[in-house]
Amino acid sequence: EAGVAQSPRYKIIEKRQSVAFWCNPISGHATLYWYQQILGQGPKLLIQFQNNGVVDDSQLPKDRFSAERLKGVDSTLKIQPAKLEDSAVYLCASNSRTVYEQYFGPGTRLTVT
């Protein structure tokens, strides 16, 4: 079974530029999560999707971050405009409705200069 796929793996941008990350969850997993992990900290949830609906986006900075999962499969997370403090690893995870374990993709390391 293929794992969670993410791209790109690395991205370097200047502040005020925009960036987008892509995630394809494990096949059949209805729930998809985006987490932000700042160096030295544990991952923090940004947004949770159930199929193509948003379950929790309470910690998503909505003035600059947006995410979508239009067909209930893959998802895109966008940052516009980026700030220096957005430098982090962006992790995508997924699980099924009946199995609570979440599995993570390799992550995208974003550096904002």
Partner 1 sequence: QKEVEQNSGPLSVPEGAIASLNCTYSDRGSQSFFWYRQYSGKSPELIMSIYSNGDKEDGRFTAQLNKASQYVSLLIRDSQPSDSATYLCAVSEYGNKLVFGAGTILRVKS
Asked if residue 25 binds partner 1 (CB under 8 A), the reply is no
Contact 16, 113 (CB under 8 A): no
Contact 21, 107 (CB under 8 A): no
Asked if residue 106 binds partner 1 (CB under 8 A), the reply is yes
Contact 106, 46 (CB under 8 A): no
Site for partner 1, residues 37 to 76, rule: CB under 8 A: 40-45, 48, 55-56
CA 53, CA 38: separation in Å to the nearest integer? 26
* Residue whose CB is less far from partner 1, 35 or 86: 35
In this structure, which amino acid lies at residue 18? S
From the list 13-21, 34-42, 66-74, 76-84, the region that binds partner 1 by CB under 8 A is 34-42
Residues that bind partner 1 (CB under 8 A): 31, 33, 35, 40-45, 48, 55-56, 89, 91, 93, 95, 97, 100-107
